[in-house]
Structure 1
Amino acid sequence: MSRFVKRTLRKSAAGLCALMLGAFGCGGADAVEQGDVTPTEEQALVTRKVMPIGDSITQAAAGHASYRCPLWQKIRAGGYTADFVGSQTGGYSGANSCTVSGFDVNHEGHWGWRADQILASISGWATTYRPDIVLIHLGTNDLFQGNTIDSTLQEIGQIIDKLRAVNPSVKVFLAKVIQSTRSNTTLDAFNQRIPAFATSKSTTTSPVIVVDQWTGFNASTDTYDGVHPNATGEAKMAERWFQAIRSSL
């Protein structure tokens, strides 16, 4: 429960106490001051800022919805609230095709980008948008372009550090990247390193939670070009993200 909410409840209780003092006393005011709201009530008071971070798999091309569209739909259908944040508002070379009412278009998905390119800009984005939750799906382009697993994980770690410099309590949801018809062996080796890496970076106040986007994803049927998700693949990704983050919304 935030200090602001506590102060507001205390002031409200004090005002009610003053009106009722002669007849009833002020025992209720103490109960309000010492009590707390339930998790459900607290969630209703706060809209979490969610920043999807990644490459073309996060952004999606013009004419494709991106996983962000069905994820938004699941969040709203589940009775949750969220504010997607970021400097980007569309797909590559045009708008995403999401037709869900009220779809929040903001994100930090950048077509063709590697982790080092995200790292170069993350401090500015974090300062501007101050996310509470980040969804990171990174590493595919790094490995396609010959970067090592070690260097890619190091850069993702530095991204997390810079996010924490702005918000020490940011929750990081880190994906095992989806399958591809290209270099699956290398991607699998990268994903095998993710759980230990997440454990090494996780803290009590800023956990790093692994989201397995690899298992159950079929690049032959869930992408339109061997790399980028089609509608079926987007829906699978959205479901994995939603199940991971729902308790944090």
Structure 2
Amino acid sequence: MLRFMPVGDSQTIGSAGEHTWRYRLWQHLRMAYGGPFRIVGPRETLYDKALEAPVSYEYADPDFPRAHLAGWGEGWLHMAPLIGEAVRAHRADVLLVSLGLIDLGFYTDAEQTAANVDRFVAQARRAAPRIHIVALPVIPNVRAETDAPFAAQVAHFNTLLAKAFADLSEPRSPLLLASIPSSYDIHTDTYDGTHPNASGEHKLAAAFADALYQGWGIGEPYDAGAALG
């Protein structure tokens, strides 16, 4: 049985009232993956904006495996120290990672963030030497439209992330870089220039599903058109 763990920031944890891309990917895998699988992780909640805390269980559809390791305002910096224990405790096989926007926006530059990617991978492998990791590059948000230095850091980090994944990938523990959906538009696929709305959730789920299929033959391509229709 494959055990998938979503790891991410606010785009992954989601907030009260949302489905999340985690839900969309679970729906897809139920139909597209031929074998048994589980979604695992140490957390289950959404972020409650009114309380400014990750304490909500008010999913648009709560009837799905809600486990994850994601946090509002958390990045590679925050997850690197946590990932080893999370992988070990929940016996994860595949990490689905969407991190970096918070790091670059508030904590670390591109090189420092890339160093935390290395630490994250090392800790995950220490816990599970055959761990598989899929990561999504940082999608520039609305801030990048007016803050040129920030936009440059995002672009630079994405280059460093691609190089790190190419250099660190091993046959027994492969690292796979997903592709930012070509049709992703922060003005129509988010509700605030950063966080995905329903169409954005489908497109982020598709990015991971398509990477899993194209890279490792897991499941099938994501039918975003049917999902959005």
Please indicate the TM-score interval, normalised by the length of the shorter structure.
0.7 to 0.9
- Find the aligned partners of 2:66 and 2:200 in 1 and give their Cα distance: 19
User: Is the 2:9–2:72 contact (alpha carbons within 8 Å) kept by the matching residues of 1?
Assistant: yes
Note the 1:115-134 alignment, pairs <5 A: 115-134=76-95
- Find the aligned partners of 2:70 and 2:58 in 1 and give their Cα distance: 12
2:16 aligned partner: 62
Summarize deviations over 1:213-243 as a string: whole Å, max 9, x none. 2633211111111111111100001111111
Structure 1: 4+ residue segments shifted above 6 A: none
Find out whether 1:91 has 2:53 as its counterpart: no
Describe the SS at the equivalent of 1:131: coil
1:114 aligned partner: 75
Q: CA RMSD in A?
A: 1.7
- Give the AA of the match of 2:28: K
Describe the SS at the equivalent of 1:52: strand
2:139 aligned partner: 178
1:7 aligned partner: none
Note the 1:8-23 alignment, pairs <5 A: none
Cα 1:131–1:143, aligned 2, differ >3 Å: closer, same or farther?
same
- Give the AA of the match of 1:227: T
Structure number with higher helix proportion: 1
Summarize deviations over 1:182-213 as a string: whole Å, max 9, x none. 12443223222222111111011111100012
Note the 1:213-228 alignment, pairs <5 A: 213=180, 215-228=182-195
User: Is the 1:176–1:214 contact (alpha carbons within 8 Å) kept by the matching residues of 2?
Assistant: no
1:48 aligned partner: 2
Identity of paired residues, percent?
A: 27
Note the 1:21-40 alignment, pairs <5 A: none
TM-score after normalising by structure 1:
0.76
Find out whether 1:78 has 2:78 as its counterpart: no
TM-score after normalising by structure 2:
0.82
Structure 1 alignment gaps of length 5 or more: 1-46
1:208 aligned partner: 175
- Find the aligned partners of 1:189 and 1:182 in 2 and give their Cα distance: 16
Structure 2 alignment gaps of length 5 or more: 49-55, 145-150, 220-229
Summarize deviations over 1:58-100 as a string: whole Å, max 9, x none. 1011111111011001001214332111111121121253428
- Give the AA of the match of 1:211: A
Describe the SS at the equivalent of 2:96: strand
2:227 aligned partner: none
User: Is the 1:65–1:96 contact (alpha carbons within 8 Å) kept by the matching residues of 2?
Assistant: no
